[in-house]
């Protein structure tokens, strides 16, 4: 990758010289808001004219352009000097200019855990055919031959679809079918930054075909067909299915080797919105969250939202507070939690004790072998510490031959790589001490397993007392009904929201640990004998679960706005686990809305939420006005001229399905409006759980409805009694209930002064 970067840089400079002697051009995105031209051609001409005003000539403008965005919003990307970029940003018709940066992808049973396979039997609601719903997946492409993308039982492609099956390397028109109805790919932004794909020395397809596995996994999770009796090396055998198993897939490949350039993402989203998909699933993001209108995902998702398309996106795998990505309020941000299936690869010690281990380990170890710590097997001249990590060329083959090597985790080598290193050195097995091992699933070249700190202690104690400690690594067994489940995955990115702390993010959590789904058989980098299905973890896996459920909601409620779908999913989410207690983090501590937002997705309840918190583009504009965007910036965002009205609507008054206030100064009232989605008269009453040190009163405390579609407004009055520490938040909740439906919103407040 480093060599590729150098090559990319060289080519880059070469091109810049050819372009008239400027050596410091970079790839910028020039974003210009809603479409103002009726056809793409006139928009492209206008782009060239605008660009010519800074490059000096129309020809140079044409040369500098990489992408035109002209289907769903306006803009272009081009190679520009910082001075040219600055000049363009001052133009009246430009909303923002920003560099195209790299984003990262956020790397059967999960659906059973959510009980989705019986959703249609349970639900009494009329529904439009789920097969009319199109899920657009922006990712690393797709492996079209997977059984998960069979078109069996599906009718003709929905007429509303305006997409295409773009052919390329090992991808013909025959690779699209009634399941994969569209396939496109975008590489110009990536190649501008990293050099031509050819130069990187890795397997790739210049087409929508997936050489990585990630896109195949997410697409099959969202909308894969039902495939019975599949497994990974016989582990986790069962039925693989997508959430909306008869919905259609439109594939937008914008990521190469796990990285996705902003310029490519924006082009993919421009097309997805233009093609008329219903839901967009995007398991990709940047941390920390960039300014909304200098972020390809936020811009693309804004125009999707405007056109009634929900964008469901992963929060990221960055572990820490403030790291959640895709946190704009017009995006549904998904965190990751566990399911109730564990895959244990345990260790049988010479003293008959069994230690719990985690991993995907199909290989059978026939007999026990001697144990040796990596640190005790250092090659001559290698520090003990290096050998303890089992890094490359640190182990002494004569010491590890025929033994099981115990390694510790470091940040240099990937766990599966270590298993290769140990195997190469002659080791017959590997045990790696790995904090939170249960949240990560790795596959190995030799029998291997991961242990958590408690087991590590026991193992060390055993090894210290025995002269010849021995062990056997057992093949992976599937343990069902594991408790507690769900718990929050340690890696799942957390709030507060880096850009707008008053909008609680992430919004929701869904299965993202040990997820079984389709895979690209050529993605061999991490997995020896790769198969067509794989088990992996990440918010990347959680996001398509929610996208699939959103597709089902859309098929039941075709008229619902993206905000209504978000509201239904969020207000019905659960905050308790399968032991009936509050959802916890991997370390057993109680989770907060900054871990899971409104809670764990509950597909059944979301179909019939009772009340909806709706908002539209004009509400988003008000939010942006109070969020510091200038009228000049917002003017061209939508087709209607935007003027920020004074006084500004405070951003906590966006009609969001959760309630957040940042830096509360004394008493304050938050407004919300709910829409009734039910039959006949009913009455909802408010039930509040006060955040610590804050008193909450809802007025009116009861809302009476007579017919569906009716709207009622209320106020949530806060009286702070105690300041919160620094930027920390205290949490509570508001639940509206009519005895049947429970419509719950988490409350999160930060109190600056009383």
Ligand X SMILES: *[C@@H]1O[C@H](CO)[C@@H](O)[C@H](O)[C@H]1NC(C)=O
In the complex with ligand X, the residue whose CB is nearer, 640 or 722, is 640
Select from 192-200, 597-605, 633-641, 720-728 the region that touches ligand X (CB under 6 A).
Answer: 633-641
Residue 325 binds ligand X, judged by CB under 6 A: no
- Determine the interface stretch with ligand X among 364-372, 401-409, 459-467, 636-644 (rule: CB under 6 A): 636-644
> Among candidates 288, 221, 295, which has minimal Cα distance to 260?
295
382 is a site residue for ligand X (CB under 6 A):
yes
Order of strands across the sheet with 611-612?
611-612, 668-676, 711-720, 694-699
The residue among 523, 473, 450 whose CA lies nearest residue 363 is 473
The nearest distance, CB 108 to ligand X, in angstroms, is 13
Q: Which 8-state DSSP code applies to residue 425?
A: T
Q: What is the DSSP letter of 437?
A: G
C-alpha closest to that of 739 among 689, 701, 682 = 682
Beta-ladder partners of 745:
734
Q: Binding residue for ligand X (CB under 6 A) from 375, 386, 415, 547? A: 386
Residues 30-49 close enough to bind ligand X by CB under 6 A: 34, 36
CA–CA gap between residue 727 and residue 335 (Å, rounded): 22
CB of 428 vs ligand X, minimal distance in Å: 24
Contact (Cβ atoms closer than 8 angstroms) between residue 270 and residue 69 = yes
- Nearest distance, CB of residue 28 and ligand X, angstroms: 19
CA separation for the pair 168, 184 (Å, rounded): 9
239 binds ligand X (CB under 6 A): no
CB of 92 or CB of 366, closer to ligand X = 92
Q: Does 383 bind ligand X (CB under 6 A)?
A: yes
**Which range touches ligand X (CB under 6 A), out of 10-18, 382-390, 395-403, 426-434?**
382-390
User: Contact 546/336 with Cβ under 8 angstroms?
Assistant: no
Residue 216 near ligand X by CB under 6 A:
no
Q: Is the peptide bond before 506 cis (omega within 30 degrees of 0)?
A: yes
**Other C-beta atoms lying within 10 Å of the C-beta of residue 230:** 21
CB nearer to ligand X: pick between 354 and 412: 412
Question: Residue 572 CB, nearest distance to ligand X (Å)?
Answer: 35
Q: How far apart are CA 545 and CA 220, in angstroms?
A: 10
Nearer to ligand X, 206 or 704 (CB): 206
Which residue lies nearer to ligand X by CB, 92 or 198?
A: 92
d(CA 624, CA 82): 27
Q: Does 100 bind ligand X (CB under 6 A)?
A: no
Shorter beta-carbon distance to ligand X: residue 92 or 529: 92
Residue 121 or 229: the one with the smaller Cβ distance to ligand X is 229
> Is 394 a binder of ligand X (CB under 6 A)?
yes
Q: Which of 270, 291, 268, 262 is nearest to 43 (CA)?
A: 270
Cα gap 451→430, rounded to integer Å: 11
Instruction: Quote the least distance from Cβ 145 to ligand X, whole Å.
Output: 9
> Taking a C-beta distance cutoff of 8 angstroms, is the pair 133, 247 a contact?
yes
Task: State which of residues 5, 414, 639, 711 lies at the interface with ligand X (CB under 6 A).
Answer: 639
Residue 649: CB atoms within 10 A of its CB come to: 16
- Shortest distance in whole angstroms from residue 20 CB to ligand X: 28
Among 38, 90, 174, 229, binds ligand X (CB under 6 A): 229
Place of tokens 């000096």: 56
Distance between CA atoms of 99 and 202, rounded to whole angstroms? 26
Whichever of 91 and 649 has its CB closer to ligand X, that residue is 91
| Among the listed residues 572, 636, 653, 682, the single contact to ligand X using CB under 6 A | 636
**Catalytic residue IDs:** 139, 214, 540
439 SS3 class: helix
For residue 42, the minimal CB distance to ligand X (Å) is: 13
Which of 18, 21, 90, 92: binder of ligand X (CB under 6 A)? 92
With CB under 6 A as the contact rule, the residue among 40, 53, 62, 93 that binds ligand X is 93
**44, 522, 644, 697: residue in contact with ligand X (rule CB under 6 A):** 522
The Cα diameter of the chain in Å comes to: 82
Phi and psi for 146 in degrees, rounded to 5? Answer: -55, 140
State the residues that interact with ligand X by CB under 6 A.
34, 36, 92-93, 170, 229, 382-383, 386, 394, 412, 522, 636, 639, 641
């Amino acid at each position: 990758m480093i060599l590729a970067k150098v090559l990319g840089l060289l080519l880059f400079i070469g091109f810049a010289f050819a372009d008239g002697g400027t050596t410091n051009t970079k790839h910028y995105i020039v974003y210009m808001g809603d479409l103002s031209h009726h056809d793409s051609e006139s928009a492209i001409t206008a782009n060239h004219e605008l660009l010519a005003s800074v490059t000096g000539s129309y020809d140079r403008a044409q040369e500098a352009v990489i992408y035109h965005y002209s289907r769903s919003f306006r803009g272009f990307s081009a190679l520009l000097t910082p001075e040219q970029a600055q000049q363009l940003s001052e133009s009246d018709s430009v909303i923002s200019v920003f560099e195209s940066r790299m984003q990262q992808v956020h790397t059967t049973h999960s659906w059973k855990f959510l009980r989705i396979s019986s959703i249609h039997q349970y639900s009494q609601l009329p529904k439009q055919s789920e097969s009319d719903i199109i899920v657009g997946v922006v990712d690393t492409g797709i492996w079209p031959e997977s059984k998960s993308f069979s078109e069996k039982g599906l009718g003709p492609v929905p007429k509303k679809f305006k997409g295409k099956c773009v052919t390329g390397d090992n991808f013909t028109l025959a690779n699209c079918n009634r399941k994969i109805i569209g396939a496109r790919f975008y590489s110009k932004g990536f190649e501008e930054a990293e050099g031509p794909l050819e130069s990187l020395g890795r397997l790739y397809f210049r087409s929508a075909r997936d050489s990585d596995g990630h896109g195949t996994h997410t697409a099959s999770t969202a909308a894969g067909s039902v495939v019975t009796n599949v497994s990974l090396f016989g582990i986790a055998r069962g039925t693989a299915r997508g959430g909306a198993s008869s919905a259609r897939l439109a594939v937008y490949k914008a990521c190469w080797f796990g990285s996705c350039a902003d310029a490519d993402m924006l082009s993919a989203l421009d097309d997805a919105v233009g093609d008329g998909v219903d839901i967009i699933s995007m398991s990709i993001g940047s941390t920390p969250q960039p300014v909304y209108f200098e972020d390809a995902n936020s811009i693309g998702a804004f125009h999707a939202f405007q056109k009634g398309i929900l964008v469901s996106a992963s929060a990221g795998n960055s572990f820490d507070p403030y790291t959640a990505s895709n946190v704009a309020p017009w995006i549904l941000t998904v965190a990751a939690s566990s399911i109730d299936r564990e895959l244990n690869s345990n260790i049988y010690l010479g003293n008959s004790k069994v230690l719990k281990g985690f991993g995907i380990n199909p290989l059978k170890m026939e007999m026990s072998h001697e144990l040796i710590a990596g640190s005790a097997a250092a090659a001559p001249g290698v520090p003990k510490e290096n050998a303890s990590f089992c890094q490359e060329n640190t182990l002494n083959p004569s010491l590890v031959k025929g033994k099981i090597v115990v390694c510790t985790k470091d940040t240099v080598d990937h766990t599966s790589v270590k298993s290769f290193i140990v195997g190469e050195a002659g080791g017959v097995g590997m045990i790696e001490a790995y904090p939170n091992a249960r949240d990560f699933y790795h596959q190995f070249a030799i029998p291997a397993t991961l242990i958590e700190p408690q087991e590590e202690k026991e193992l060390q104690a055993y090894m210290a007392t025995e002269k010849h400690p021995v062990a056997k690594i057992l093949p992976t067994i599937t343990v069902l009904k594991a408790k507690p489940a769900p718990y929050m995955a340690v890696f799942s990115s957390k709030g507060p929201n880096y850009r707008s702390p008053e909008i609680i993010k992430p919004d929701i959590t869904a299965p993202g640990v040990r997820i079984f789904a389709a895979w690209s058989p050529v993605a061999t980098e991490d997995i020896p004998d790769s198969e067509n299905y794989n088990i992996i973890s990440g918010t990347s896996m959680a996001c398509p679960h929610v996208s699939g459920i959103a597709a089902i909601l859309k098929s039941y409620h075709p008229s619902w706005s993206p905000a209504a779908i978000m509201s239904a999913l969020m207000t019905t989410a659960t905050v308790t686990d399968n032991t009936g207690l509050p959802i916890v983090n991997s370390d057993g501590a109680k989770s907060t809305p900054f871990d899971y937002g409104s809670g764990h997705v509950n597909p059944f309840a979301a179909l019939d939420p009772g009340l909806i918190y709706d908002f539209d583009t004009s509400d988003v504009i008000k939010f942006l006005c109070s969020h510091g965007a200038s009228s000049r910036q917002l003017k061209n965002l939508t087709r209607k001229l935007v003027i920020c009205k004074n006084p500004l609507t405070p951003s906590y008054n966006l009609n969001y399905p959760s309630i957040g206030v940042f830096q509360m100064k004394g008493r304050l009232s938050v407004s919300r409006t709910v829409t009734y989605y039910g039959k006949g008269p009913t009455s909802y009453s408010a039930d509040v759980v006060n955040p610590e040190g804050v008193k909450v009163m809802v007025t009116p405390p009861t809302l009476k409805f007579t017919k569906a579609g009716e709207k009622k407004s209320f106020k949530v009055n806060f009286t702070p009694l105690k300041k919160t520490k620094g930027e920390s938040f205290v949490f509570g909740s508001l639940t509206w209930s009519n005895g049947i439906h429970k419509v719950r919103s988490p409350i999160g407040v930060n109190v600056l002064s009383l």
